């Protein structure tokens, strides 16, 4: 069973995500920025299942009907309307379309400035607010710069994409955003690795002894430094 729930406040969505992540049978728990959902409708013709500032996609896996259980779980959630619910496979696929369309729509204005981070659930709402303020502060002459947030809310693994950020503003904004992530107690890299772009910021979320241990593992597996040279480590 799949449901998409709408929330007026991100904090309320995070509270619901915190509750759902420990539920037996939870198969998916996805945060979708309402502004991103609006873009999928405008540019791809994919209409979001519910209209709200923030959307939470919940999927429960079981071999029997989960309708009553889902209703009980959502009973205390501070939603801003009725959820959209799908029981059969076709309905579930329709509810997933907005989430699955995000990767395509994020490039509608050109390559976005991307951040792949993990955050404590308690920090997500404040981070989202401060990230928007940071973008507008560092790109004041480009009011169309658009920060969008989505990802796996149960784990705190999130993707922040800034659309329409002028290329000449990206380096300074990137550095400031990394600082904000660290201030919020998050990791500057989550699912997609550190690579070469984030290596200068690794110390923001890892202690020196952690990095030293990583270097030893790399040296043991790749003593000549041939593999992925200058990626992660100099």
Pairing label, strands 84-86, 2-7: antiparallel
What's the distance, CA 167 to chain centroid? 22
**pLDDT tens digits along 173-226:** 999 999 999 999 998 877 777 776 777 777 777 788 988 898 899 889 999 888
Residue with tokens 């043991």: 220
Domain 2-107 in this protein, CATH class: alpha beta
Residue 68 and residue 114: Cα distance in Å, rounded? Answer: 39
Distance CA 37, CA 109 (A): 15
CATH topology of domain 110-193: Alpha-Beta Plaits (3.30.70)
Report the SS3 class of residue 157.
strand
What is the band of 228 on the pLDDT scale with cuts at 50, 70, 90?
Answer: confident
Residue 153 has pLDDT above 70, yes or no: yes
Same fold flag, 2-107 and 110-193: yes
Extents of the domains making up the chain: 2-107, 110-193
Region class of 32: left (phi > 0), else alpha (psi between -120 and 50), else beta: beta
- Output the pTM of the full model: 0.88
């Amino acid at each position: 069973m799949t449901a998409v729930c709408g929330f007026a406040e991100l904090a309320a969505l995070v509270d619901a995500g915190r509750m759902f992540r420990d539920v037996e049978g939870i198969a998916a728990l996805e945060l979708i920025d309402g502004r991103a959902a609006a873009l999928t409708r405008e540019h791809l013709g994919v209409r979001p299942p519910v209209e709200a500032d923030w959307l939470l996609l919940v999927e429960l896996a079981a071999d029997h009907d989960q309708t009553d259980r889902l209703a009980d779980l959502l009973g205390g959630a501070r939603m801003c309307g009725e959820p959209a619910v799908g029981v059969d496979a076709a309905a579930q696929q329709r509810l997933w379309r907005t989430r699955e369309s995000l990767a395509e729509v994020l490039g509608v204005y050109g390559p976005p400035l991307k951040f792949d981070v993990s955050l404590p659930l308690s920090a997500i709402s404040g981070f989202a607010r401060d990230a928007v303020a940071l973008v507008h502060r560092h790109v004041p002459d480009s009011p169309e710069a658009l920060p969008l947030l989505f990802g796996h809310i149960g784990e705190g693994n999130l993707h922040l994409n800034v659309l329409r950020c002028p290329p000449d503003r990206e380096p300074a904004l990137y550095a400031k955003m990394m600082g904000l992530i660290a201030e919020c107690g998050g990791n500057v890299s989550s699912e997609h690795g550190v690579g070469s772009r984030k290596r200068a910021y690794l110390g923001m979320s890892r202690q020196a002894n952690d990095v030293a241990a990583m270097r030893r593992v790399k040296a043991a597996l790749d003593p000549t430094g041939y593999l992925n040279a200058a990626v992660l480590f100099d």
